[in-house]
Structure 1
Amino acid sequence: MANSGRTPIADERAANVFRRLAPDDIQVFPIKIEGENRDFYIINATRCFSCVDEKNSREVQIYPSDGVAPERAGTYRAIYGLRINPARTEGARIFRIQRYTSALIVSAELKRALEEVGNLGVNFERVTGPQGTP
């Protein structure tokens, strides 16, 4: 991951998983990393959905219109125990959430394929189903 937007940086094997399973949901940009001989890629999720299930998320905080960051008014400040409504994601396998772009959501199929690559340096958290669902 890079920068505060949590942009995924992938090696060739992980990038190929994204290309194979989510070709319509991403852009892949080659990059060079100083001191590395391997190829790396920025993975950009191109789709964004209004899909937060606020009722079933543990806690949702929204920036107020009269706060210190008026440009963020109405956007999500924080979401704990995030839950999404998959019916609002149009079958995308990787996407960001409207008004909360720091979250990067991947499908269970994409998660499994990425885990097979191994040693990704990321944590996955379930965002569908009731709280506490493994």
Structure 2
Amino acid sequence: MPMRYFQLPDDMYLPHRWELGSLIGPDAQDVQPSLLRSGTPLEMQGRLKVSIETPGRPLDFTHAAYSIPIVHVRVASLLSEVAPDDVQFLRVDVPSQPDAYLVLNALHLIRCIDDERSTEVRYWEPEDGMPEKVGTYFSVAGLRIDPTKVGGARIFRTWGWTGALIVSEDLKAALEQSGATGMKFTPV
């Protein structure tokens, strides 16, 4: 039986949880989300910063603006152990937090969305006026992937719909067993 995979979004329905803002680079400018959705390592001089937009209970896994994953050092350690070739971590300062947090950069961008099994897919068209996006996904509902196209990756983003962070079944189990907070898993 092929490996099963799950989308890993931030669980926005947890009560009394914090919400993080935009990711700010060492140059005091917003970090472009596309840099962390390209599936490539980043070189940054200095530390990143993220604001707390809504105070509340800190989470071990959460998203900054534009679905950029921020993880507690415990989660980063687990991911580094289970999927060392799939992830990069960048230090990020979170106000009033004594614990270490890191930005999770998934290092694989895999063309694996199963258009036929997904509920609905729409592509950017020339008439949409965004020539740089033509041929990529405009929207994906009921995301399903073709597991035969994943290879050995345990955590990755989907090509053309890079907001989706996907984890393998074994990585999901390890994250659940760790007791880390803030995660929700949706089968894909």
Distance in 2 (CA, whole Å) between partners of 1:80 and 1:22 is 27
User: Residues 21-60 of structure 1: matches in 2 within 5 Å?
Assistant: 21-60=82-121
1:39 counterpart letter in structure 2: A
Name the SS of the counterpart of 1:8 in structure 2.
Answer: strand
Aligned to 1:11: 72
Aligned length: 126
Between 1:8-17 and 1:118-127, the stretch displaced more is: 118-127
User: Residues 1-134 of structure 1: matches in 2 within 5 Å?
Assistant: 1-4=63-66, 6-127=67-188
Work out whether residues 71 and 104 of structure 2, in 8 Å CA contact, stay in contact via their aligned partners in 1: yes
Taking structure 2 as the reference length, what is the TM-score of the superposition? Answer: 0.64
Name the SS of the counterpart of 2:126 in structure 1.
Answer: coil
2:159 counterpart letter in structure 1: Q
Structure 2: tracts of 5 or more residues without a match: 1-62
Work out whether residues 75 and 180 of structure 2, in 8 Å CA contact, stay in contact via their aligned partners in 1: no
Distance in 2 (CA, whole Å) between partners of 1:41 and 1:118 is 18
* CA deviation map 1:85-109 (0-9, x unaligned): 1111111000011111111101111
**Bigger proportion of residues as strand:** 2
Work out whether residues 121 and 137 of structure 2, in 8 Å CA contact, stay in contact via their aligned partners in 1: yes
1:116 counterpart letter in structure 2: Q
Q: CA RMSD in A?
A: 1.2
Asked which structure has the greater RCO (Cα within 8 Å, sep 6+), the reply is: 2
Identity in percent:
38
* CA deviation map 1:68-121 (0-9, x unaligned): 322211111111111111111111000011111111101111111112233532
Work out whether residues 93 and 101 of structure 2, in 8 Å CA contact, stay in contact via their aligned partners in 1: yes
Taking structure 1 as the reference length, what is the TM-score of the superposition? Answer: 0.88
Aligned to 1:130: none
Name the SS of the counterpart of 2:116 in structure 1.
Answer: coil
Work out whether residues 87 and 104 of structure 2, in 8 Å CA contact, stay in contact via their aligned partners in 1: yes
